[in-house]
Amino acid sequence: MESSPEFPLESQPELPPEPPREPLLTLPGALTAYIALLAVIHGVRMLLPFDIDDLVIQIFGFIPKRYDSTLLDVTFPGGTGAKVWTFVTYSLLHANLSHIGFNVLWLLPFGSALARRFGTLRFYLFMAVTAAAGALAHFVTHEHAVAPMIGASASVSGTMAAAIRFAFVKGSFLSFSRGDADAAARVPALSLMHALRNGRVLGFLAVWFGVNIIFGVGSIAIGAEGATVAWQAHIGGFFAGLVLFSLFDPVPRIAADAADASSQDVSTRD
């Protein structure tokens, strides 16, 4: 005689469903498309003859000397139009694969959070504005430079600066109690004044400026004397991202923000 199971099938207790596992790194579509664009552009350039690739850099790279009104006998490729588009297009060109790799490495955490927060259109506009800010900073400090500057590092620096306005807030992606990726990117941001009084933000700023000034990895100026780091462009993009963040931020204002490391309330973001 067969024994009956202790619990009939229909009355056996059900185990709670396992929560969905979030991948360690998921990229928003806007950032994925941006990285793919950088890779495609560089891949196509690698197939070009050297002289044609050099012409591409001359047309789309940022050359401060291009804006020198005293030039009478020097004509740069691209004409008048290049004086406008190169403020952004230089950021889509890179010297080599390691150059792209460094930029992408920093974009993965900071760019992902910002793309989720801003949405596609605002994210791309933000990248263009910070690229232009980096070019302007490079122009001011290298007014007569003939070497073209290329690289996305000014925009990357801008994303890092913008992200730290909310990165350390409770629930965000660099806090001790973060939520899922989308929730972490939508926490209320610190005002600029509160961000500049936050210990973690100040620590991040100190390390970032120190690394960029001493070592500087990113935007490269290509010229006859070799490659150098355009660290002033990094600072221009970073400063623009930090200050202009609120103009792009779609997250509604609230009466108070909660900092991750403190129980004190902070005022509304600017």
Three-class DSSP labels, 48-87: CCHHHHHHHHHHHCECHHHHCCCCCCCCCCCHHHHHHHHH
Where do runs of H (alpha helix) occur along 119-148? 120-141
What gap in Å lies between CA 225 and CA 200, rounded to an integer?
39
pLDDT number for residue 188: 87
Q: DSSP secondary-structure letter at 7?
A: S
Instruction: Write the CA distances from 185 to 26, 133, 169, 209, 229, integer angstroms.
Output: 13, 24, 10, 24, 31
Examine the pLDDT at 237 and tell me if it is beyond 80.
yes
> Which pLDDT tens digit goes with each residue over 16-34?
554 444 444 578 999 999 9
Q: Which ranges in 173-225 belong to alpha helices (H)?
A: 181-184, 192-195, 199-214
With a cut of 70, say whether residue 211 has pLDDT above it.
yes
How much is the average pLDDT of 235-247?
Answer: 95
pLDDT at 92 over 90: yes
Higher pLDDT, 238 or 5: 238
Name the 3-class secondary structure at 258.
strand
Q: Of 21-25, 230-234, 238-242, 256-260, where does the model show the most confidence?
A: 238-242
Pairwise pLDDT comparison (152 vs 211), residue with the higher score: 152
Is the pLDDT confidence value at 9 over 60? no
Residue spans of the domains in the chain: they are 27-262
Nearest to 237 by CA among 126, 165, 134: 134
Burial of residue 122, with CB atoms counted within 10 A of its CB: 0-12 exposed, 13-18 middle, 19 or more buried: middle
DSSP-assigned beta bridge partners for residue 222:
227
Mean pLDDT of the chain: 81
31-87 pLDDT tens trace: 999 999 999 999 999 999 999 999 999 999 999 988 887 755 567 888 889 999 999
Please state the rounded mean pLDDT for residues 126-131. Answer: 97
Q: Is 257 helix (H, G, I), strand (E, B) or coil?
A: strand
Out of 69-83, 120-134, 220-234, give the one with best mean pLDDT. Answer: 120-134
> Does the domain made of 27-262 have the CATH classification 3.10.180.10?
no
**What predicted TM-score, i.e. pTM, was given to this entire model?**
0.79
**Cβ partners under 8 Å of residue 28, min gap 6:** 112, 115, 116
